[in-house]
Amino acid sequence: MPLDHLKTLRDRLRKTRAGSAGTPVTFADSHPVFEIVALGVRSGVADGNLSSYLVRPLGTNEAVICDAGTLGHGLKRAEARGILDDIPIMPDSALGRAGHVLKQTVRAYLISHAHLDHVAGLVLSSPEDTPKPIHALPQTNAILAEHLFNGRVWGVMGDKGPEPRTGRYTYRDMKPGQSQTIGNSRLDVTAWPLTHASTTSTAFLIQHHGQAILYLGDTQADRPDGPQNLHELWKAVAPLVREKKLHAIIMGVTYPDGQPEEALCGQLRPKDLLASLRDLGHVCGGRHHIRGLRVLVSHVKETFHEGGHPVQHIYRELQDGNDIGIHFMMAEQSARYLV
C-alpha cells in the first residue's frame, strides 16, 4: 500500500474514532448510513454479553433491536462508554440516556428465535419498557407468548396469552419475504427463515430509504440433503449487494473449525461461513461483487475452560480462508460501527 494512501487511512481513522460528537467509534466507513451498537455479542456462559444489536439510521431517533439476549445491561454499558451520546434525547428528561434509548429511540424488536441467549434481556427489561412491536416469524412469537410471557415464567407482557395481559408488546407475525414497515418509523424489515438445530431461526433485512443492513440469527450451513435457506436468502439480497446498498451483514460463527460436525448444535464454523459467502458471490454473478463486504461476526461461544482465545482463533481461521476479500470484523460488546 502506498505510504500516502496509508497516511490518509490513518488520518481518517483518527477523525472517525471520535464520532461526530466525540462519541467513540470502533469502525467507520467513509460515507456511513447506519450505526450498529453491539449491546451483547457472545453465546454460552457470558450471561451479561449475549446477542443483541441496536441498528439505527444515522441522523434519526429511530432504531430497532436485533435479538435481545442482553438489553438493559448492554445499554447501560454503552451509555457508560459514551457510545449512545450521538442519539438525540429529550431535553430535561428524567431518564438516563440508556433508559431514553430503550423507551423512546427503540421502535421495535426483531427476534430471530426464542432461545434464551436471544431473548433473556427482553424478558428482564420488559417491566421498564414502553409499548412496541415484536416482529418475528409466527412460530417464534408463539413461543414467546406461550412459554415466556405466559403468566408463569414471566408476566403476560404481550397482546396474546392468558388474562390479565399488559399488552405492552404487540406480536407482529411476519411472512417470509414480505416487507413490513416498523410502526412510527421510516424503517422496513423483511424476514427469511433459517435452519437452526430443532428450531426455526430468522434473518432480518432492515432497510431505510433503500439502504440496508442484514442481521442473521443462529443458523447452520446449508446441506445438500436439507433446506437451502442461506442460498435462498442470498438470492433475495443479491441485488442489494450488487448495487452496493447492503452496508453490512451481522452473522454468527460459534465454534472454530475443529468442532466436529455432530457437535455443532445448528451453528457455523469459519469454514462454513466462508463457503456460504462464496455461494453469495456466485449468486451475485462473481466474487468481485462481494469484495470488501462488511461482515460483523457475532455469537462466539464462551465456556468455563481456561486458556485459549476463541474470538482471536476464529478471526484467524476466517482470515486464513478469506480468498474472497470479505472485510471481517469481530463484534465487541459496547462497540459502535458506522457502516
Q: What is the pLDDT of residues 229-280, one digit of tens each?
A: 999 999 999 999 999 999 999 999 999 999 999 999 999 999 999 999 999 9
pLDDT for the residue numbered 156: 97
6 pLDDT higher than 50: no
Instruction: List, in order of start, the domains of the chain with CATH numbers.
Output: 17-105+114-126+179-338 (3.60.15)
The most distant pair of C-alpha atoms in the chain lies apart, rounded to whole Å, by 68
What integer is the mean pLDDT of 118-144? Answer: 98
- Locate cell 449468486: which residue? 283
Residues 66, 112 contacting (CB under 8 angstroms):
yes
**Cβ contacts of residue 134 below 8 Å, gap of 6+?**
108, 109, 111, 122, 141, 144, 158, 169, 170, 171, 172
> Per the structure block, which three cell numbers stand in for 279?
455461494
**pLDDT per residue as tens digits for the range 81-121:** 999 999 888 777 788 999 999 999 999 999 999 999 999 99
Q: What is the dihedral of CA 125, 201, 231, 279, to 10 degrees?
A: 60
Rounded Cα–Cα distance for residues 235 and 229 (Å) = 10
Q: What radius of gyration do the chain's Cα atoms show?
A: 19
* Pairing mode of beta strands 132-136, 169-173: parallel
**pLDDT per residue as tens digits for the range 34-64:** 999 999 999 999 899 999 999 999 999 999 9
> Does residue 83 sit in helix, strand or coil?
coil
> Per the structure block, which three cell numbers stand in for 108?
421495535
